[in-house]
């Protein structure tokens, strides 16, 4: 039609090729949302598991995501460097994935909060950040996990002071002001008998999702010609590759040190 020219105002927005893409989603106004839905303080196991469920679904759907990390109301997704998803169109990728994450969050809500109806629609912002090198990608994930640690240590002690210590929030903040990490561990232990390191790893380390690709083969065993599925580490023979089966693995491990990255050397 004579109006179709308006489509020309849609400006292309390709992301630089061969560059690592991180998509981070973060709950919009979750301070209020966590209050309205009575999230446990400082960590609500159900809320975090719901975030994990949404992230797992995103990774099931979008196969070019090779790593995800979640904490609090946020999740970060790393794409393989060479992904051609939606021709690397920024708005298309950003909007579609944030939408899908949101959809999964809402659809799964009642599974994790069976007796807490949604008061209002939760939403998430999203952003795509490009990183040229492996180093920055590792530092990005270290940044998020260090943040998890700092916040969780603070919040754990803060809420202990308030809930068990019966301090006012203002007093609790004042007490914590200027303390370093070691002092907080110490206070947790001496005042509340809490050994920080024994708290749930999900709270201390956040959630890490990796992808295990299991390639199945159809094997014609000599003489029988019966196709049979065997794991990919079978010795080479009369095999035919089938569609790789992707499984996702969630854990709550350290991703700052080298160990994780050495074990998962296919990520970068």
Binding residues (CB under 6 A) for ligand DGT: these are 26-31, 34, 39-44, 47-48, 72-73
- Angstrom distance (rounded) from CA 94 to CA 48: 22
| Cβ contact 60:162 at 8 Å | no
CB closer to its own copies, 120 vs 259: 120
Q: How far is the CB of 29 from ligand DGT (least distance, A)?
A: 5
Q: Residue 44 binds what, of its own copies, ligand DGT, Mg ion, none (CB under 5 to 8 Å, by partner type)? A: ligand DGT
234 Cβ contact list (under 8 Å, min separation 6): 217, 219
| Cβ contact 217:230 at 8 Å | yes
Q: Which of residues 18-57 bind Mg ion (CB under 5 A)?
A: 26-27, 30
Q: Residue 100 binds what, of its own copies, Mg ion, ligand DGT, none (CB under 5 to 8 Å, by partner type)? A: its own copies
| Cβ contact 71:55 at 8 Å | no
- DSSP state, 39? -
Cis upstream peptide for 42 (omega within 30°):
yes
Q: Residue 206 binds what, of ligand DGT, Mg ion, its own copies, none (CB under 5 to 8 Å, by partner type)? A: none
**What residue has token string 């390191």?**
197
Which residues of the chain form contacts with its own copies (CB under 8 A)?
A: 1, 3-12, 14, 16-19, 25, 28, 57, 90-92, 94-96, 98-107, 118, 121-133, 136, 139-140, 142-143, 146-147, 150
- Residues engaged in binding Mg ion (CB under 5 A): 26-27, 30, 72-74
């Amino acid at each position: 039609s004579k109006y179709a020219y308006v489509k020309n105002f849609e400006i292309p927005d390709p992301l630089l090729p061969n560059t690592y893409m991180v998509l981070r989603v973060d709950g919009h106004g979750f301070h209020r949302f966590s209050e309205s839905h009575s999230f446990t303080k400082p960590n609500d196991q159900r809320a975090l598991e719901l975030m994990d469920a949404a992230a797992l679904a995103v990774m099931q759907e979008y196969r070019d995501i090779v790593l995800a990390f979640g904490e609090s109301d946020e999740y970060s997704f790393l794409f393989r460097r060479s992904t051609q998803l939606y021709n690397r169109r920024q708005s298309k990728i950003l909007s579609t994935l944030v939408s899908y994450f949101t959809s999964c969050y809402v659809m799964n809500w009642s599974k994790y909060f069976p007796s807490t109806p949604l008061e209002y629609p939760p939403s998430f912002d999203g952003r795509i950040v490009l990183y040229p090198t492996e180093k920055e990608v590792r530092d990005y994930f270290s940044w998020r996990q260090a943040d998890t640690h700092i916040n969780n240590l603070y919040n754990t002690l803060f809420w202990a002071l308030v809930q068990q210590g019966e301090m006012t929030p203002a007093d609790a903040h004042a007490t914590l002001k200027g303390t370093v990490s070691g002092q907080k561990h110490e206070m947790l232990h001496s005042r509340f008998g809490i050994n920080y390191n024994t708290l749930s790893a999900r709270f201390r380390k956040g959630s890490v999702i990796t992808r295990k690709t299991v390639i199945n083969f159809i094997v014609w065993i000599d003489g029988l010609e019966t196709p049979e599925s065997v794991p990919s580490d079978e010795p080479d023979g009369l095999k035919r590759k089938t569609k790789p089966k992707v499984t996702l693995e969630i854990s709550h491990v350290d991703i700052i040190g080298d160990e994780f990255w050495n074990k998962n050397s296919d990520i970068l």
